[in-house]
Chains A and B, each alone.
Chain A
């Protein structure tokens, strides 16, 4: 599917709403989320206390981030690993390429990593002659289709199984063309066999990190498929790419966060595999990588740390806000244009790509608050979107018509007599338009809104007038 930019959100959304396959996939996600999440959380009475704990852990870490980063680094080096600090996407890409070249690598296996999407790592490595293979099933499917993930933890949520079967037939041409590929089970088995060869042949394995632990210099990687573990253990070299806010002080802190991560992400109590990896192969170890590299990336995080958006650095990339968001549920992740869709994307993308390139995203919210309700890290996402709206408004990035409308409203709102008179006239006009039906089928100046629905007419006068009538004030 063609992916527009963040600025073309409206057009992207219209296209997404006309896509019947996408709509049925999104409906299923929303149905599952509405029942699945409450059920799994009800089984852990301590869930809310753990959320508070997780917030406290991350806030404390961010308030002392320099200390924990230095401690983490010292422990990585102590365990025999190498650290590489990178300012931005370009520096991180170059660093990874250099490590691959020094190792004379040809095949790179990759675990699922949103940061690698942020820095567009695959395209860069491939352009430089490396074979890069995504090993997460969803990401592998997307790589074959040359698409990007549309959800943080369910990257191929926008696809139907028939589309995936077709992709496998197109790419796995060495297999019998008439083999059965009707069920997810059959496709999964095929991917297992195809990717097994790659795991075994890879020279370098690249993973992201769910958390970095300062106390031990460990990297936590969470997967269900086991691809993260095969990626970080079979190749000679393991490269971890992580942004600086991923660090937590202690193992125990990571355990608290793990208890809310999978429950929020996939509705599981814990994923199949949670690995704490520390440095390269030890003396006497029969397996494991010979080299362990940590690419520590800023990519805009220090800017977020320094100001009103700091809370978003608590994000653990569970995707709960996406699954719960009615706007995401109507248009899917690709409509947002950036790496991250949904509420977290509406807050992060303006920071990563510049508000001038993404002011449309914080506008795409009804402020229903579902995202903040489900966010395990209690990130005030609607508040942060509102903040971006203010910045966009002050910078005159939003539409002139919207700014004029707001200016008129603000003018009236500061003059109560004018506001009251205006409201009385508006109510009378709406009544006239509605005639006896009680609703308005077509509204001048809001044709887009009434094209798909009726506008209910006001049932009585203004609240203040009714109050005065009743209480005789």
Chain B
């Protein structure tokens, strides 16, 4: 017998099932989700909570009125923070009307991240009020490396994409799945910049992933 058959045989013997037992009935708990109350509220409340929670997780946020202002806002922020004005942009059509051409002094490349890239700009699937997390997914227009390799990660979050709970964000992924977009290779919840407490339990921001996470809310 193969290891697979051996293991499955022992599992079945241990739990009193057989090869022909078939799928178990759906467990009772599956009928109800336990959604924390903090993941519920009006859209305005959720946006406010998202900003609070993201800030608590050491992300920075700013808000612009419309998509066309994103480029200028980022150029200003990079300058204020003394950061390089050169960035890698996710090749996502939704980000194209960001006013990049008119943004002051920005050098832009579109594609995946390479070693040495300082700043990346990506879209998100959703912002999640529950913990101030953003959900990102990989795909042709959203290279996964953009979320991890550069020193600074800037995420563009339309206010209408802010949801209450993790389940609500996953519902967006599922809806995409239903219209023929396969489950992305990676779906990631990002909450603040990278951190570690491995040395004497001292929280240190900026380990292997981005040193900073900056969120630009749109609308």
Alpha-carbon gap, A192 to B211, bound state (A): 10
Contact A273 B190 (CB under 8 A): yes
A315 an interface residue at 8 Å Cβ cutoff?
no
User: Per-residue CB proximity of A209-233 to B under 8 Å, as 1/0?
Assistant: 0000000101000001111011001
Known: A188-B196, A276-B186. Contact between A233 and B29, CB under 8 A? Answer: no
Whether B196 pairs with A137 at a CB distance below 8 angstroms is: yes
A284 to B149, CA, bound (A): 20
A56 to chain B, nearest CB (A): 5
Q: Are A156 and B185 in contact (CB under 8 A)?
A: no
Contact status of A184 and B193, CB under 8 A, knowing A91-B3, A192-B207, A234-B145: no
Residue A127 is within 8 A (CB to CB) of chain B in the complex = no
* A66 interface hit (Cβ, 8 Å): yes
A349 to B52, CA, bound (A): 43
Evaluate contact between B194 and A69: CB separation under 8 angstroms.
no
| Residues on A with beta carbons closer than 8 Å to the beta carbon of B4 | 85
Q: Is the CB of A288 within 8 A of B185?
A: yes
Determine the chain B residues whose CB is within 8 A of the CB of A226 once the complex forms.
148, 194, 207-210
Q: What is the size, in residues, of chain B's interface with A at 8 Å between Cβ atoms?
A: 72
A135 touches B208 (CB 8 A): yes
Q: Are B24 and A63 in contact (CB under 8 A)?
A: yes
Query: Given the complex of chains A and B, what is the CA–CA distance between A49 and B29 in angstroms?
Result: 11
Within 8 A of B (CB), among A187-222: 187-189, 191-192, 195-196, 199-200, 216, 218
Q: Which residues of A contact B10 (CB under 8 A)?
A: 298, 302, 305-306
Collect the chain B residues with CB atoms within 8 Å of residue A156's CB: 198-199
Q: What residues on A are CB-neighbors of B113 within 8 Å?
A: 287
Contact indicator B186/A164 (Cβ below 8 Å): no
User: Which A residues touch B44, using CB under 8 A?
Assistant: none
- The interface centre, meaning the residue of B24, B143, B149, B200 with most chain A CB atoms within 10 A of its CB, is B200
Q: What are 21 inter-chain pairs, A to B, with CB distance below 8 A? A: A56-B29, A66-B15, A66-B17, A137-B207, A184-B200, A188-B196, A196-B115, A224-B196, A225-B195, A227-B209, A230-B148, A230-B209, A266-B197, A269-B191, A272-B209, A273-B188, A275-B187, A276-B188, A279-B185, A285-B139, A286-B140
A-B complex: 8 closest residue pairs judged by Cβ atoms? A226-B209, A306-B14, A138-B198, A184-B199, A284-B140, A225-B207, A85-B4, A302-B10
